[in-house]
Structures are given as C-alpha cells and as structure tokens.
Structure 1
C-alpha cells in the first residue's frame, strides 16, 4: 500500500480504514488504543461497549482531544493483543471500534473478527 497522509487515511470510508488498519497491524506487529489513569478508553454506542483501535500512534493521538485530552496512545504488541486482548474482550462482551475518526465511529466488530483478518490463515 502506498504511503498516504493521515488526512487521506482518515477521509477513507470506515470499511477502507478497516482494511488499512489490518494491513498496518500485520506490517508493524502492533495495534494502538488510548489510555488514561483509569485504563483503556471505552466508547459506548446505543447497544454496545467498544474499545477503539488504531493502526498507529499518530492516528490514536488524533482522537485525544476534548474529553479525551488526558489520554495517551498505548501500543499493544500484536502477539499480546491476539493472546490476551481478544479473549479478554470477548469475556467482557466488548467490541472493537476499528479506526474511529472524529465524526465516524468506524466499523464495529467482535474482537475475533479482527483477529481473523490479522492472523495468517493456517492450512490443516
């Protein structure tokens, strides 16, 4: 994928941002969220609680404004996310808000859906 500016990436459709996040996470072996003194940022839609995830520190930092201004980007190594976060989020019935931007929450998916897109397929 060609290098795009953050402004170009954030202007993409939610589905395109999802695809972009998957490729970046695979390439960089890390995923980003935001945290404050109480832990990870949680977003609530009408029906579900989500943890937002971004492909880079820069993208996550863009969200840290207004009520989130005290939040810091948190890098999660991909292996840790796959081993601990996916099952932990499922146990807590949390979903992933994939690469939200200021006026768009992005695609909201179960953690195992994102895991399935990131992990290489194994043949049996």
Structure 2
C-alpha cells in the first residue's frame, strides 16, 4: 500500500475514534520505540489506528506490552514537543515487513490536526 493510501486509511479510522494506539510495557510503562527501517540513526514510534492492530503486535519481543490509547487531544498537548526534541519519527499502522510507512513528526501531526474534532 502506498504512503498516501496507508495514511488515508489510518486517518479515516482515527477520525471516528479520536484515538491512536501505541504499545506500552505492562510493568515499566515504557513505550515501544525502535530503529527506523528507512532512516539511519533515527528512532521511530509505531502507532496504530485501532486497538486490534496494535494488539496483534504484542507477541515475541513485545509480549510484555499492551495497546495503550492516546487521545488526539493528549497527543497534541503532551507528546509532540518531547518527540520532536528526541528526533523521533512516526510509523503508521506499523507492520513487521520492510513496507512500513514512516512520517516526520510535523507531517504526521499536521495530518492528525486535520481530523481532530475540537
């Protein structure tokens, strides 16, 4: 699936729920952040548009993680600044193959802002 199609699908689902999903460690409450597939020396935070998609990745090395909901309002208020400072990019509807869509944080945030209901 192309970047545009993946992003459109992601945004359509998020628009309805106003929630994005990440994986959080059950005990430490750390979030899954991993090496980018597309950019050297760059961390990527995988996010999913549904709880079910996120949960499907809670296996093997991520077996101790659970899907955690992040509202768009919380994302805009609490997450962006820290991730920007750390140079983290976003992987949308992350998959385990090399066909992962990764977006720079400003581009991802702008797309989310377009579907956020205030």
If the length of structure 1 is used for normalisation, what is the TM-score?
0.79
Q: Do the aligned residues in 1 keep the contact of 2:45 with 2:88 (CA within 8 Å)? A: yes
Match of 2:20 in 1: 31
Q: Which runs of 4+ in 1 moved over 4 A?
A: none
**What RMSD, in angstroms, separates the aligned Cα atoms of the two structures?**
1.7
Cα contact 2:72–2:112 (8 A) shared by 1 = no
Within-5 A mapping of 1:37-76: 37-38=27-28, 39-45=30-36, 46-76=40-70
Q: Distance in 2 between matches of 1:72 and 1:105?
A: 23
Q: Which residue of 1 aligns with 2:88?
A: 94
Tell me the matched-pair count. 109
Identify unmatched segments of 5+ residues in structure 1.
1-12
- Is the Cα–Cα contact under 8 Å of residues 90 and 110 in structure 1 kept in the other structure? no
Tell me if the contact between 1:98 and 1:108 (Cα under 8 Å) persists in the aligned partners. Answer: yes
Look up the match of 1:18: 7
| TM-score computed with the length of structure 2 as normaliser | 0.83
Tell me how far apart the structure 2 counterparts of residues 47 and 107 of structure 1 sit (CA, whole Å).
17
Query: How far off is 1:105 after superposition?
Result: 5.5
3-state secondary structure, aligned to 1:75: strand
Q: Any stretches of 5+ residues in structure 2 without a counterpart?
A: none
